[in-house]
């Protein structure tokens, strides 16, 4: 089916089966490969994007459900929270292999949009669905807290 998806503020036309997961369309059709395939079953968070500003696992999001929605990927992530997270990520040398990082950053920025001063528990709850195979969870938590402090400061 022919669909027009609004991705990172631009209309993108695709012609795919309506049940195709958004992740497939982003990576294979639109070549937006910053969003990663991890598990394909909404268990790891590597494929996290925003749909109308809400974090969403793109591997379980059929594109036919996105008519009129605004999709944001890591390539289009902007704003104070995103800037603060990216700066903190660099400061704490947070990624190891980096594969999960786009999902981690999308979720971290979403958390800070809602709660700029999160506790460790808030961070753990928000990021519980973003798995890091290098287990850099301690650095991730530190970086999120530091990003929040930047926003508050």
Partner 1 sequence: MGDFRVTGSAAVLAAMAALLSACGERAPETEAAGAGEGAVNGLMTPAAFSSIAGDEARAAALFTEISKVMLHPRCANCHPREGGPTQGDDMLPHNPPVVRGFGMGAAGMECSTCHGSVNVEFASMTGSIPGAEPWMLAPASMGWAGASAAELCAQIKDTELNGGRTLDDLVFHNSEDHLVNWAWHPGEGRSPAPGDQETFGALTAAWAEAGGHCPEG
Query: Which residue from 8, 16, 30, 57 is in contact with partner 1, where contact means CB under 8 A?
Result: 57
Over the Cα atoms of the chain, what is R_g? Answer: 15
Rounded distance between C-alpha atoms, residue 67 and residue 63, angstroms: 8
To partner 1, the closest distance from the beta carbon of 122 in angstroms equals: 7
Q: Are 63 and 21 in contact (CB under 8 A)?
A: yes
**Among residue numbers 64 through 83, which ones bind partner 1 (CB under 8 A)?**
65
To partner 1, the closest distance from the beta carbon of 97 in angstroms equals: 20
Query: Which residue from 34, 62, 96, 137 is in contact with partner 1, where contact means CB under 8 A?
Result: 62
To partner 1, the closest distance from the beta carbon of 41 in angstroms equals: 5
User: In sequence order, which residues have a C-beta less than 8 Å from that of residue 40 and are 6 or more positions away?
Assistant: 21, 23, 59
Residues that bind partner 1 (CB under 8 A): 19-21, 24, 40-43, 45, 48, 54-57, 59-62, 65, 107-108, 110-111, 114-115, 118, 122, 125-129, 131
């Amino acid at each position: 089916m022919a669909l027009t998806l609004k991705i990172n503020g631009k209309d993108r036309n695709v012609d795919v089966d309506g049940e195709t997961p958004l992740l497939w369309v982003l990576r294979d059709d639109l070549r937006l490969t910053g969003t990663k395939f991890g598990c394909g079953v909404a268990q790891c968070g590597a494929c996290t994007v925003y749909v109308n500003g809400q974090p969403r696992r793109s591997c379980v999001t059929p594109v036919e459900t996105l008519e009129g929605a605004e999709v944001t990927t890591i390539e289009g992530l902007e704003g104070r929270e995103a800037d603060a997270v990216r700066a903190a990520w660099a400061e704490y040398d947070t990624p190891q292999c980096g594969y999960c990082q786009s999902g981690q950053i999308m979720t971290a920025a979403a958390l800070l949009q809602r709660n700029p001063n999160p506790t460790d528990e808030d961070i753990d709850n928000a990021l519980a669905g973003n798995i890091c195979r290098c287990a850099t969870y301690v650095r991730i938590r530190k970086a999120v807290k530091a990003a929040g402090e930047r926003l508050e400061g």
